[in-house]
Structure 1
Amino acid sequence: MTLPASFSRKDFGDDFSWGVVISAFQNEGACDADGKGASIWDAFSARRGKIKDGTHAQQACDFYVRYREDILLAKQLGFTVFRFSISWPRILPHGTGAVNQQGIDFYHKVIDTCLELGLTPYVTLYHWDLPQALEQKGGWCHRGLCLRSKTM
């Protein structure tokens, strides 16, 4: 297949949605702020020798603090969709049980900012950031991982 020398939005049709995508672990940072629990990636990246240069996402792109300016940038660039993932351990620090209201509040602010700026928020509920507390119980292979939480 030969690609055209250039293309424009019109080539994709009026019903095509242009957007940007981020994932919680790779962008939020604030790895232990406001009640967030550890994820499997927090634990993995903390293990010596697992990542060649020792990189981690403890601060990442600092989306947790800079979400408004990042979403505004997406709007200024002409996008109409903002897709983000929710960090399970930010909502349920122990994987099940008590809900972290500060985590819920953060995602409400992200969604509200998208709507305020005219961007459609697309939410990914799970993007490979299982709470470490569940991993220690056997992760996805554990029969009790069916989210039988008393709060749900």
Structure 2
Amino acid sequence: MTSLRIVLLAVPLALLGGCMLMGGRPNPNANTSTTRFSESGRYEVSYRPDVTPVPRRALHSWTVELRDRAGRPVDGATIRVDGGMPDHGHGLPTQPAVREALGGGAYVVDGMKFNMGGYWVVDLAIDAPGGDDTVRFELNL
């Protein structure tokens, strides 16, 4: 293998490895509340991880609770999950999805994973009888 090929392979691997080991920096201005109102104010949304604190490099689940402005549980919603590390310019390493609607406004999201420490965002797109909305959760891991 030529020296150029070795360099072309080694540099990206070294950068990726360094990123995985070092992670990112926390955002001191992040709102890390586990309960937020959605962007348009239609819903109060909260999450509860099945492992506390939220782990790094481990698959886990969240229970997401959805309530309307009056505090009533919202059933029959479709929730899509996205997110990532804004400072690193990449998304989540997995594709989390709602596995089960428990009733009473609760939904189980499987496939949550954060592969390094630092500032993360999790975006939920909500399609529910009361209208569509979004909410962003911020995490410092």
TM over 0.5: no
State TM-score, norm by structure 2: 0.26
State TM-score, norm by structure 1: 0.25
Specify which structure has the higher proportion of strand: 2
